């Protein structure tokens, strides 16, 4: 959405209020001029002395709604799914009937403001210091050359492909000279997911909990391919143009696949365990051939 605004109005100044845990993503977007980090607690909601032409709420929660309440703006628009009273502070924008993907539904919010945009762009690029930091971490672990990034974790257990499947996939990739870097956050659940893959026989470079958000953007941009479920790193891969193999079951790819890469998604309505390693390998092989052209 910020990229669409900046493309339509190159001289505009965009301020983005964001939870400090995810500020690194916004800091990687060159369409954003100013990042306002929002700390936990309602008392930490920022306010701005200047007047904005427009303010947008894409989260639809109380904390994001209060940011809009404190912003002096002529127009206040919000994503259509508004919760926790956020509708008190912005007008909901109903998605266009052709906007099946959630990203396009977000962009519909600025379309309602008069911005014309066909395809969403993300404009994510990690700062050079974070790129160098990632390269150092990889070199220290003996990894030089091409590699895959995989994420065995997810916010919900039902969004996680079996550890045994990840282990078999990692070993199959390794036999084709494509080593794997496993990523995830510092949470115990992510570390446990990595430990389960290792216990199942997967040999990988472990960077779970070892990267900040900007470094994760840099790492995924460097990768030849990304494999994961409906989770943050999968969507980062799509945003930086890395082929992203998405593994889906309880969520439908048409709505939440890695943006622009629905053909790379595998879906089984019954369970993620119904997605075979061979099917993922076929997708990986096809994507790597395409990306090498």
Reference 154, options 277, 247, 268; nearest CA is: 247
pLDDT of 159 above 80? no
**Residues 235 and 214: beta-carbon distance below 8 Å:** no
Q: Indicate whether 199 pLDDT > 50.
A: yes
Q: Average model confidence (pLDDT) for the chain?
A: 91
pLDDT tens for 23-64 read: 999 999 999 999 999 987 777 888 899 999 999 999 999 999
d(CA 264, CA 273): 17
Residue 212 has pLDDT above 70, yes or no: yes
- Residue 285 has which token pair? 């092989």
Q: What angle do CA 153, 218, 224 make, to 5 degrees?
A: 75
User: Domains, the chain, ranges and CATH?
Assistant: 2-111 (3.40.50.2000), 128-291 (3.40.50.2000)
The CA distances from residue 61 to 18, 48, 90, in Å, are 12, 19, 11
> How high is the pLDDT of residue 293?
42
> Does 291 score more than 90 pLDDT?
no
């Amino acid at each position: 959405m910020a990229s669409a605004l900046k493309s339509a109005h190159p001289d505009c100044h965009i301020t983005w209020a964001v939870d400090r845990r995810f500020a690194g993503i916004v800091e990687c977007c060159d369409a954003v001029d100013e990042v306002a980090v929002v700390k936990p607690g309602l008392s930490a909601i920022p306010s701005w002395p200047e007047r904005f032409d427009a303010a947008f709420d894409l989260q639809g929660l109380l904390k994001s709604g209060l940011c809009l309440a404190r912003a002096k703006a002529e127009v206040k628009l919000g994503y259509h799914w508004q919760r926790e009273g956020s509708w008190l502070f912005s007008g909901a924008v109903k998605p266009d009937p052709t906007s099946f993907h959630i990203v396009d539904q977000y962009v519909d919010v600025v379309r309602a403001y008069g911005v014309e945009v066909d395809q969403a762009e993300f404009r994510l690029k990690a700062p050079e210091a974070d790129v160098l930091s990632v390269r150092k971490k990889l070199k220290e672990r003996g990894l030089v050359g091409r590699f895959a990034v995989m994420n065995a974790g997810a916010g919900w257990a039902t969004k996680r492909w079996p550890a045994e499947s990840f282990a078999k996939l990692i070993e199959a990739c390794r036999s084709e000279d494509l080593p794997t870097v496993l990523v995830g956050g510092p949470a115990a659940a992510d570390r446990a997911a990595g430990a389960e893959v290792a216990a199942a026989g997967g040999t990988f470079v472990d960077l779970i909990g070892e990267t900040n958000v900007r470094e994760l953007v840099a790492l995924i941009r460097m990768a030849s391919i990304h494999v994961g479920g409906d989770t943050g790193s999968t969507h980062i891969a799509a945003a930086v143009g890395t082929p992203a193999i998405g593994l889906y079951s309880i969520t439908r790819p048409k709505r939440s696949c890695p943006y622009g890469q629905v053909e790379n998604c595998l879906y089984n309505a019954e369970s993620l365990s119904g997605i075979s390693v061979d099917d993922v390998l076929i997708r990986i092989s096809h994507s790597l051939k395409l990306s090498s052209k």
